[in-house]
Structure 1
Amino acid sequence: MNAFLWVVQALLAALFLLSGSLKSTWPKDRLIASGQTGVTPFPLPLLRFAAVCELFAAAGLILPRAAGIAPVLTPIAAVGLCCVMAGAISSHCYLLRRDVAAGRGRREAVNVVATTVILGMCVLVAVGRS
């Protein structure tokens, strides 16, 4: 189980390191064009704040437990990412409802499912490392 949790932590850390890096450097329209459509309803300063949170959480998923210093921070980082992903699911559901009303919506349905899977991985790490 320990090795499986490490794999999940590494995948999540890589994902949030990439996402946080893009959100902290790219303009909003480029993020949307790249597939991060969930950022659409939010102002850029909030996206930059979320990016910083994602970068710190990515480090928190790996470094405390790997260094053996304050390993309690790993499940805390995972819980923080659960909050971020709950917000992302909410955003994608809002966009899905809007797109369905306009006769579109396939892309957002995939994003809701993918974001829910990522949330599940965060919950797994939070519970598994508690």
Structure 2
Amino acid sequence: MKWTEDFSAGMLKVIGAAEVLGALGLILPGAFDVAPVLVPVAATGLAVLMLGAIVTHARRKEPQPIVINVVLLILALVVAIFRFGPNSF
């Protein structure tokens, strides 16, 4: 993945950790029925990460990853909206 050339090793670890924590935040609260408010918070965080990914790939003129990031952004926004909104638990 060529986009990694634009970031330091430390920043790549931060991005990876944020993605893993976001994924855990989507799954674990529902699985253990503990602090369900963390699900929309995690989804919002992942949406922000995807916006950053879209900007990064757009600057590098890489269209294929942008499509993937847009799909993931939409999915994260749907989760955040439905879990924050009137349909929330």
TM-score range, shorter chain: 0.7 to 0.9
Aligned counterpart, 2:9: 44
The amino acid across from 2:80 in the alignment is A
Is 1:67 matched up with 2:28?
Answer: no
Name which of 48, 51, 57 aligns with 1:83: 48
Name which of 32, 55, 73 aligns with 1:119: 73
The amino acid across from 1:87 in the alignment is G
Alpha-carbon separation, structure 1, partners of 2:5 and 2:74? 23
- Structure 2's unaligned 5+ residue stretches are 85-89
Deviating beyond 2 angstroms after TM superposition, the runs of 4 or more aligned structure 1 residues are 37-40
Matched length? 84
Q: Which has the larger radius of gyration?
A: 1
Aligned counterpart, 1:3: none
Other structure's SS at 2:6 match? coil
| Cα shift at 1:127 | 0.8
Alpha-carbon separation, structure 1, partners of 2:64 and 2:79? 23
TM-score computed with the length of structure 2 as normaliser: 0.87
Aligned Cα root-mean-square deviation (Å): 1.1
Percent identity, aligned pairs only, is 37
Q: Is the 8 A contact 1:92 1:111 kept in 2?
A: yes
Deviations 1:58-114 (A, max 9, x none): 110011122111000000000000111111000000000xxxxxxxxxxx2111111
